[in-house]
Amino acid sequence: MQPEIGLTDGPFNTKYASLAAIGWHLLHNQTLQTFEEVVCEAGKPDFLLSTKLVQVLCSMFAGCEYISEINSRLLTETELARAWGFERYLEQSSLASCLNQLSRMNLTQLEQVSQAIWRSHSRSLHHDWRGFMRVELDLSGLPCGKRAEESEKGYFSGKKTLQDAN
């Protein structure tokens, strides 16, 4: 399936188009296959453990803070599911029980998988350290706009920065 991104009035619109593109890239880059290294010790599952773990990862990328949000946010997103390589999203109860059944060995395997993905996609690991790496941090504590998404006043210790100072 080649991804096709555009605006339509069709029945398969999604608000997760950018997430679908990321999922398609990770699927065809075979990055998601590393989740198959996490081996399930239980009997014959209805879905592979790797599929469930990828769906949990995708739900985190979609902004689900809790597993229970998957049913309301992602259950109807069939096109997003296809972009990530599965037919549909599983219900949150199935994913929650999967996470509850993970053993210490599974968690160790999952940690190794996440490190392997990080190593293959990390720009800092591949950075030429003979030169500089620029990292920008905003520690000014200046207020952001009133309409900024999920913005809130934070805590900054020490001297407060006056708004006229900058």
- Does residue 115 lie in a domain region? yes
The share of the chain scoring above pLDDT 70, in percent, equals 70
Q: Which residues contact 51 (CB under 8 A, 6 or more apart)?
A: 86, 90
For the chain, strand residue ranges (E) read: none
CA pseudo-torsion sign 23, 25, 31, 32: positive
Q: 22-52, pLDDT tens digit by residue?
A: 888 888 888 888 888 888 766 556 788 888 9
- Does residue 3 lie in a domain region? no
pTM of the model: 0.67
CB 133 within 8 A of CB 127: yes
- Does residue 135 lie in a domain region? no
Residue numbers of the domain that contains 80: 17-121
- Does residue 159 lie in a domain region? no
Domain tally, the chain: 1
- Does residue 98 lie in a domain region? yes
- Does residue 90 lie in a domain region? yes
